[in-house]
Amino acid sequence: MSYELVSGLETHIELSTDSKLFCLCSTRFGAEPNTLCCPVCLGHPGTLPVLNKQAVYLALMAGSALNCRVNLRSVMERKNYSYPDLPKAYQITQLSTPLCEDGYLELSSGKRIRITRIQVEEDAGKVVHTEDAFCVDYNRCGVPLIEIVSEPDISSVEEAKEYVEKLRILMRYIGVSDCKMQEGSMRCDVNVSLKKQGAETLGTRTEIKNMSSVSSIARAMEYEYARQKDILEKGGSVQRQTLRFDEAKGITIPMRSKEDAQDYRFFCEPDLQPVVLTQQEVEDVRHSMPMLPSEKEKIYTEQLGLTKSQAALLTKYRRISEFYDEAVKLCAEPQLAAGFITGQIFSLFATEGEKEEFSLRITPHSLAELCTLVQQKTISKNLAKVTLDKMLATGKRAEELITARDMQGISEEELMSLCQAALELNAPAVADFKNGKEKALMAFLGTVMRQSRGAADPERAKACLLKLLSNIN
């Protein structure tokens, strides 16, 4: 029997605030364990929480980016459970009236994954298992989160991967979070169930907790699909459970039976007033946001003529997109500028963090000047590539690095001489070309370009080489 995968994700995203949700402790990552704590975030008796306004502002930005309806009055509530990483024995979160509801995230296929709710809440601490100890670091306690809950609209592992990646890019782009999954600032709980092909009734779901990478999410979903399918095909029934994913073994392991809301004894947080907003405040947040990556990508492909892959790379990182936008304002070569950025400039950055920071020694104005020189045919595109490398290394403008001779270009006599020398330096390749190996021509062309320091025009050089080769018996 065939079964369809049904999945919904609960994504926890730490907000980019300097202080925690209810106190002034720092949210800095990587500090010594238990050094960023105070009586408020540790839940000492007699302490009172004060809501961080910036966290609400960032949550509103997330809701706007995900096409949500904002509740002008939302309530903070206590979720009661006892676990070592929660020193208060309850978490302040939202249940009955979250800040945002009824949104969606659109995939590349056009399919919309519905967003049920976005709620503001505080993070718990971090449990650390060692060989001989069970340790808890409370630095993360009280760090502001949003939990983004999707409907069970995801029907494949590929859709889940795209949903998480798009959500990560979007939240990072608008400045809601750095979404560094390796640091735990974005984590996913993945709900998985199976249903018979074409059936309306959903199967029993399991929840895989605290997934911290896209690859792990994919592996866990694939395993859980196979596990549940095997149970159903043998006539068994899937148990509603909370699971964890064992990275080393590639399997899901039961943690506990799945709880319902009543198990947590939710009630309104008595120490906090409801969050009350005006429609004007919501509109102000919407108007303050940058253009979303999906909107920019459409402009880049439809108006500027970029490829989809170029547009996707440029809109993945906000600083890079802003650098590109500024360069394009100053020159009429959007495709050339995009090629330089996604090619040579991208090659300078090895990590996501470096691309996110996008620290360069050149300005958008300098890149625009270089593109204009190519557009005006003052220099060849190959010489521009050589020049750009020098610009990136020195921070100098193109006109400081290009000589008068470069500007004049290569004369016919010089080009003929360079091509003749290239044939003499690659004598074995001449025989190969005569024997039908046309790729040998590229070896000659490469020599010409190197000897001319990129100043020769490739098409002129190619024509000259072919003319010389035709005269060789």
pLDDT tens-digit series, residues 236-286: 999 999 999 999 999 999 987 666 667 889 999 999 999 999 999 999 999
* Contacts of residue 378, Cβ cutoff 8 Å, sequence gap at least 6: 407
**Average pLDDT over the chain, rounded to an integer:** 91
Q: What is the pLDDT of residue 452?
A: 77
- For residue 283, the SS3 value is helix
DSSP 61: H
Q: Please say whether the beta carbons of 401 and 378 come within 8 A.
A: no
pLDDT tens-digit series, residues 55-92: 999 999 999 999 999 999 999 999 998 889 999 999 99
Sign of CA dihedral 94, 100, 103, 105: negative
Encode burial over 141-173: b for 16+ CB neighbours within 10 A, e otherwise. Answer: bbbbbbbbbbebbbeebebbbbbbebbbbbbbb
Encode burial over 397-407: b for 16+ CB neighbours within 10 A, e otherwise. Answer: bbeebbeeebe
Alpha helix ranges (H) inside 192-317: 214-233, 279-288, 293-302, 308-316
Q: What are the per-10-residue average pLDDT scores of the chain (473 residues)? A: 93 98 96 96 94 97 97 96 91 96 96 98 90 90 98 97 96 95 94 91 92 95 96 93 92 78 86 96 94 94 95 94 96 94 94 89 96 87 89 93 65 80 82 77 82 75 83 74
Q: What is the pLDDT of residue 367?
A: 97
Q: Which fold has domain 412-470?
A: Arc Repressor Mutant, subunit A (1.10.10)
Residues of the chain with CATH 1.10.10.410: 412-470
Q: What is the pLDDT of residue 422?
A: 84
pTM: 0.84
* Number of other CB atoms surrounding residue 232 within 10 Å: 18
Which residue type sits at 145? Answer: L
Q: Which residue has the tokens 């369809």?
A: 4
Alpha helix ranges (H) inside 111-259: 157-173, 214-233
pLDDT tens-digit series, residues 10-61: 999 999 999 999 999 999 999 999 999 999 999 999 999 999 999 999 999 9
